[in-house]
């Protein structure tokens, strides 16, 4: 959950998001070192009156400033490609959920159950209970078992939407007539909030996403209760 004046990412709640945080810190350190070196060279050139004739025409320094950026790009690209392929990996999901974007709410269908589906609307501000978050709470949460691979099939009924939960490291476009898929594993129980991340009309800001990760036995109890109500 984000908090006011937060500068960094939300706390990771999935292995993929942990990898993304590590890569962010890795890339940021490289940018910091490059910025420090460039600033030092600028200050040194401006503040000194001395000139080194070997720097004015030197094959060696040209080789260095050609090879060094290539090495830095490799150091950034290799971890990035690794995470990119990790995010596309979907191995034997324990549960498949279809998330469909509408103007302006989400509907969820649990593909492994016969009649388990529901719509998820934002709770209006005047109906919020104490402790609930404005513009983020929904009347029905997407409940998943923790520490289990979850596959989410994402589509839309009308216009472009985007199903995104930052703390899980998940963001997938919902395109009408197209079925995209993504996957995640929640590493701990909790409630994780997201919002539609594709401008989809007047009420784009009012179709939040709430994922609640619970232990497996609690999920089974919840699914049985939902099936009875259906």
Q: Cα–Cα distance between 31 and 4 in angstroms, integer?
A: 26
Report residue 230's pLDDT band, with 50, 70 and 90 as the boundaries.
Answer: low
124-141 in b/e burial notation, b at 16+ Cβ within 10 A? eeeeeeeeeeeebbbeeb
Domain covering 95-229, topology: Immunoglobulin-like (2.60.40)
Beta strands in the chain (DSSP E): 95-102, 105-110, 117-120, 142-145, 150-156, 161-165, 170-174, 180-184, 190-195, 208-214
Q: Cα–Cα distance between 97 and 113 in angstroms, integer?
A: 10
Per domain, the residue ranges of the chain are: 15-88, 95-229
Domain covering 15-88, topology: Helix Hairpins (1.10.287)
Q: Cα–Cα distance between 12 and 217 in angstroms, integer?
A: 24
Question: What is the per-residue pLDDT across 101-146, written as a single tens digit (0 to 9) for each?
Answer: 999 999 999 999 888 999 999 999 999 999 899 999 999 999 999 9
pLDDT at 228: 83
pTM: 0.85
């Amino acid at each position: 959950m984000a908090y006011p004046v937060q500068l960094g990412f939300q706390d990771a709640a999935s292995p993929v998001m942990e990898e993304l945080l590590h890569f962010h810190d890795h890339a940021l350190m490289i940018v910091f070192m490059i910025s420090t070196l460039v600033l030092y060279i600028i200050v040194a050139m401006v503040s000194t009156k001395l000139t080194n004739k070997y720097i004015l025409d030197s094959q060696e320094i040209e080789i260095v400033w050609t090879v060094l950026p290539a090495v830095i790009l490799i150091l950034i690209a290799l971890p990035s490609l690794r995470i990119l392929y990790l995010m596309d990996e979907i191995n034997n999901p324990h549960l498949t959920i279809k998330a469909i974007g509408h103007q302006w709410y989400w509907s969820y269908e649990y593909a492994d159950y016969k009649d388990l589906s529901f719509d998820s609307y934002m709770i209006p501000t005047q109906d919020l209970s104490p402790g609930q978050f404005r513009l983020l709470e929904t009347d029905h949460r997407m409940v998943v078992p923790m520490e289990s691979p979850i596959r989410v099939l994402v589509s839309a009924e009308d216009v472009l939407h985007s199903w995104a939960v930052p703390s899980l490291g998940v963001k997938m476009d919902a395109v009408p007539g197209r079925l995209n898929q993504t996957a995640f594993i929640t590493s701990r129980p909790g409630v994780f909030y997201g919002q539609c991340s594709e401008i989809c009309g007047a009420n784009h800001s009012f179709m939040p996403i709430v994922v609640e990760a619970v232990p497996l036995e609690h999920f089974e109890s919840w699914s049985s209760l939902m099936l009875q109500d259906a």
